[in-house]
Structure 1
Amino acid sequence: MDVNSVQHITQKKIRNFLVFFCLFLLLSCTKEPMFQHSLIYENNQAISLMFTGTKEANSYAIRLKGKSYNVLGDYQKEGNDIQFTPVIAFTRGESYEILLDEKVIQEFLVPKDMEAERPRLLSFYPKLDTVPENLLKMYLVFSKPMQQSQSTLDFIKVFNTTTSEEVQIFLPLENELWNADRTELTLWLDPGRIKKDLIPNKELGIPIKQGNNYEIVVENTLTDQEGIELGKPYVKRFSVAGRDIQKPNVKQWELTIPSGKSKEALGITFNDFLDAQLIEETISVVDANQQQIKGSFLIPKKGNNVLFIPENVWNRGKYQVLISGYLEDLAGNNLNRLFDEDLQSKKEKVLGSLNLLHFEIE
């Protein structure tokens, strides 16, 4: 091949490269710059969207993902910045699409309202402001399933406000006592410190002391299973009275009888403050044929009475309230024995034995 042929081929390759390079630059200039977007909030609502765009504002559209119609609103353009303000604020938890000339170029998610989604401590049992010195258990009830990666006690602080010191009153357990969906936690005050004559009682003393005031703080950093924090601390304050050394006595309970052919509540007033979480497990109502009456229990704040609300109207006739011997008061005294009593005592009754109350609806 002569020199002229080589030069001709080389010049042709250069021309082809230059043409390709020019086309590449031309195509590059028609593309959108690196896409950016951000939501603008007001009163905890996403009221507008800022995004980058080189085309005219009317070339763009916003749609709810999966829908064929555009979100109505106003577009304002300044340089490469476009602000879209919908007629109605963006919906929390929904995904949207940004379209250019009817083609999707970006998606964005409007985050859920973190405050609305935060877990909450709904109840702290017992709800009393004064508890017995030999209080056995406390319950925390949350609005959402809670975390399981760390001991919940790491997020609970207890202070004796009478002596101005932090104290440890709860029994640390390797496997915490949660219900099935992790919304209710049972906290035991150390039974070994409550029972007299046991070594923990002699060495450490009772967990809470008569005449003292306490404050329990559930810290704001406790999280649910999704890693969302409580967001604020929850505080329970209470005073301590003397020991409860009396068993609950069914014979001293009083019934408020509902009217026949009504859905009035059956009222049961106890002679003691009982473990609110055990009431539904241990009390039931049956008719003369031993058929259980379906319904729900409403437990007032104090926990010394309960209302049983039937699903259906009461029929006239005879009924029984069945109470399992497992039912306890706040100190763990059940219907058959005291918590601090010798478990091997020959006088001990069968714990599961039933106690009965009779009533008739006319």
Structure 2
Amino acid sequence: MRRAKHLVRQALLAAFILFPMSALAEVSSRFDHVSGNVALRGLDPDQRAEILADPAKMRLQVSGLETQRGMLATVKSDGADLVITPRFALRPGTDYVVHLTVEGTTGASQFTVPAADAVMPALTGFAPSQSVIPANTLRMYVQFSEPMARGQFREAITLWRSEGVQVESPFLTLGPELWDPTQTRLTLLLDPGRVKQGVGPNAVGGAPLVSGEAYQLVVSGEMKSAVGVPLGQDATISIRAGDAERRAITPGNWRVLRPQAGSQMPLTVTFARIMDSGAVVRLLTLENDQGRRVRGQVNTDGGGWSLVPDHPWQAGTYQLIVAPELEDVSGNSIGVPFDAATGTIGQIEEAVILNIDITD
């Protein structure tokens, strides 16, 4: 039903709009949203020939402008119609007018370019996607189908306990919102001061998530896209907090499933925890024995990483390069747990390399 109403609306918006033109009363103009052209209908053969011979007798412009200058356009014949092709695309939601001077008579026909239908945004993804996440999770990602407006997540996204009590100020709200370049993925950073053990905010307010408890992340239906269209209804994501993860990352503990040479089966790495999926995509790379990066389709859900190569695997020793900046969802990095006291553990500054042999 909604689709049918949409089609009817489009048909009405694109339909002929007739305006009397003195002696040219039967002439009408119609905008075609597919081609971007304007069709003039109702001219007799002599009138069409006159305009084709002298296109200056036709002037296309935005309605209401006090100017004699028309837009750059070409005119051609299409059966009983004259087709006007503007050099530049006409603006959606704008009224235009075609001025004609034929056989010594002037007239005008107006038409409207329909406003582009704004697409309703939707919540399309959430990470970490596992059914149970560490109670000391620091980062969450919310994915939308359309670019979203900035400056609204503090009011639009809330965290609730299972008994219906809202978690007070769970997210860090200092500085700008953390959107990706497309403005479709938002990073929610849980307040590190409340997550890290032994610091003031943690001692006073407690951690946002408690092991064993269930939560709901609610995205308000009033949250709007970059063009002002709301989600329309609340979206709810169920979260269960498990044991906190306070160990440093140890890549040597990862399980690697090796494909066979000559195949294009995925090389799969299973982590011993839930990693920050955004960081995994950026900070894990695979090189062949010539030092060239292996290109292919990378997938991760935070619990693992896989690569399907663009070309079949060649036998040899590959290197999985793990950048030292890699973190899990709890902020632990390679060799350094998030809860380590400042100055007690040195930061790892070099990449960790895992050798992976692929054989026939």
Task: Confirm whether residue 43 of structure 1 aligns to residue 5 of structure 2.
Answer: yes
Q: Write the deviation string for residues 320-352 of structure 1: whole angstroms up to 9, x where unpaired.
A: 11112322222111221111012311x424244
Query: How far is 1:53 from its partner?
Result: 5.5
* Counterpart for residue 5 of structure 1: none
Query: How far is 1:229 from its partner?
Result: 2.2
Q: Classify the secondary structure of the residue corresponding to 1:43.
A: helix
8 Å CA contact 1:136–1:191 kept in 2: the answer is yes
8 Å CA contact 1:336–1:351 kept in 2: the answer is no
Q: Distance in 1 between matches of 2:289 and 2:18?
A: 76
* Counterpart for residue 208 of structure 2: 207
8 Å CA contact 1:133–1:241 kept in 2: the answer is yes
The two structures have a TM-score, normalised by structure 2, of: 0.72
Q: Distance in 2 between matches of 1:127 and 1:153?
A: 22
Change in 2 beyond 3 A, CA 1:344/1:135: same
Q: Percent identity?
A: 22
Q: Distance in 2 between matches of 1:220 and 1:70?
A: 45
Task: Report matched runs for 1:93-242 at 5 Å.
Answer: 104-114=108-118, 117-148=119-150, 150-162=151-163, 164-242=165-243
* Counterpart for residue 15 of structure 1: none
Give 5+ residue unaligned stretches, structure 2: 43-91
Q: Distance in 2 between matches of 1:58 and 1:118?
A: 40
The two structures have a TM-score, normalised by structure 1, of: 0.72
8 Å CA contact 1:214–1:238 kept in 2: the answer is yes
Q: Distance in 2 between matches of 1:311 and 1:343?
A: 44
* Counterpart for residue 296 of structure 1: 297
Q: Distance in 2 between matches of 1:336 and 1:264?
A: 31
* Counterpart for residue 307 of structure 1: 306
Q: Distance in 2 between matches of 1:104 and 1:308?
A: 62
Query: How far is 1:260 from its partner?
Result: 2.3
Query: How far is 1:144 from its partner?
Result: 2.9
* Counterpart for residue 339 of structure 2: 340
Q: Distance in 1 between matches of 2:197 and 2:156?
A: 30
Alignment-mate amino acid for residue 337 of structure 1: V
Q: Distance in 1 between matches of 2:232 and 2:268?
A: 38
Q: Classify the secondary structure of the residue corresponding to 2:286.
A: strand
8 Å CA contact 1:325–1:355 kept in 2: the answer is no
Alignment-mate amino acid for residue 348 of structure 1: G
8 Å CA contact 1:62–1:97 kept in 2: the answer is no
Task: Report matched runs for 1:275-294 at 5 Å.
Answer: 275-294=276-295
Q: Classify the secondary structure of the residue corresponding to 2:224.
A: coil
Change in 2 beyond 3 A, CA 1:355/1:213: same
Query: How far is 1:249 from its partner?
Result: 2.7
8 Å CA contact 1:63–1:97 kept in 2: the answer is no
Alignment-mate amino acid for residue 358 of structure 2: E
Alignment-mate amino acid for residue 353 of structure 2: N
Alignment-mate amino acid for residue 271 of structure 1: A
Q: Write the deviation string for residues 263-290 of structure 1: whole angstroms up to 9, x where unpaired.
A: 3221111111211111111111001121
Query: How far is 1:202 from its partner?
Result: 0.9
Q: Write the deviation string for residues 101-149 of structure 1: whole angstroms up to 9, x where unpaired.
A: 99652121223333xx22332211111222111111111222333223x
Q: Distance in 2 between matches of 1:357 and 1:167?
A: 46
Deviates further, 93-102 or 128-137 = 93-102
Q: Distance in 1 between matches of 2:152 and 2:93?
A: 34
* Counterpart for residue 273 of structure 2: 272
Change in 2 beyond 3 A, CA 1:351/1:204: farther
8 Å CA contact 2:17–2:110 kept in 1: the answer is no
Larger Rg: 1
Q: Distance in 1 between matches of 2:238 and 2:288?
A: 42
Q: Distance in 2 between matches of 1:177 and 1:201?
A: 23
8 Å CA contact 2:262–2:314 kept in 1: the answer is yes
8 Å CA contact 1:169–1:190 kept in 2: the answer is yes
Change in 2 beyond 3 A, CA 1:344/1:275: same
Q: Distance in 2 between matches of 1:250 and 1:154?
A: 39
Give 5+ residue unaligned stretches, structure 1: 1-40, 72-92
Q: Distance in 1 between matches of 2:312 and 2:41?
A: 53
8 Å CA contact 2:221–2:233 kept in 1: the answer is yes
